[in-house]
Amino acid sequence: MQDRDLLTSRQIEDYRRTGFLFQPGALEASDIELLRSEAEKELSQDSPRRTVEAATGLPYRVHGSHLHNDVFSQFVRTPQMLGVARQLLNEDVYVHQFKINKKRAFQGEIWRWHQDFMFWHNEDQMPEPRALTVGVFLDEVTEFNGPLIVVPGGHAEGLINTPPQTEGWESTLTNKLKYSLEDSEEMQALVDQHGLVAPKGPRGSLLWFHCSIPHGSAQNMSPIDRSLLLLSYNAVSNALPAPSPRPEWLVGRDFSPLEPLEGSLTAPSRG
């Protein structure tokens, strides 16, 4: 594994301490425009990989696009994304999960407090919390359109024990979360100790966060959409002991190390 020095030692130390790293405006405008265009295409296609809002019937989430879309397949292998993931996890990685999440203006729903590793450990049998997610800002994220909120340093406390609220893997797709931290006294104690942070910034910003950090987001009450790509990498040595019972478009089954693709993202050919 060889990577450029994309992150400084200070940035890596900050990530280890706080459980997140924010890179405002890190991606090129041309790449973001291409990603935004392809994300809208994915959301517009009727598919089992797509989830719609119960109240409106509008699509707000689609999984596994990197398996079906050339642009997203390239994106997860770009040196910038792959290099930072390998620096933070200190080894080779593969894609555990990929999703597009859109909070529509005036109606984007809340996502309740949770820890990703609770789902990945209980539902997929991921051995250890040696995974992370990067949120790619496809729209400007402000305090008004439902930014992701994290508890800095909360990852260091490990999993907060919470019983499942629903049954079946389908319940892991909606905002009525199977494992929610809202009734946990530990969650209140963590916030009292560490506080809350909601990183905000322009399109093309990157928010990297540890799989055990408590996080959630409020409703989008603004007239501005808030769309994210949420790309989750897992360390190869932390691969699942067997393929997850959840579908491949929801949980990756190829545990081989990703190799970086050089060059710019290329749009799909039309013809």
Per residue in 59-117, pLDDT tens? 889 999 999 999 999 999 999 999 999 999 999 999 999 999 999 999 888 888 999 99
Assign 252 a pLDDT band (cuts: 50, 70, 90): very high
**Mean pLDDT value of segment 147-160:** 96
Assign 18 a pLDDT band (cuts: 50, 70, 90): very high
Assign 173 a pLDDT band (cuts: 50, 70, 90): low
Q: How far, in Å, CA of 118 to CA of 121, rounded?
A: 5
Q: How far, in Å, CA of 20 to CA of 101, rounded?
A: 19
CATH 2.60.120.620 for domain 9-238: yes
Assign 172 a pLDDT band (cuts: 50, 70, 90): low
Q: What is the pTM of this model?
A: 0.94
Phi, psi dihedrals of residue 42, rounded to the nearest 5°: -65, -40
Does residue 27 surpass a pLDDT of 80? yes
Q: What percent of the chain has pLDDT over 70?
A: 93
Residue from 67, 225, 214, 233 nearest 135 by CA: 233
Q: How far, in Å, CA of 33 to CA of 166, rounded?
A: 38
Q: What is the pLDDT of residue 56?
A: 77
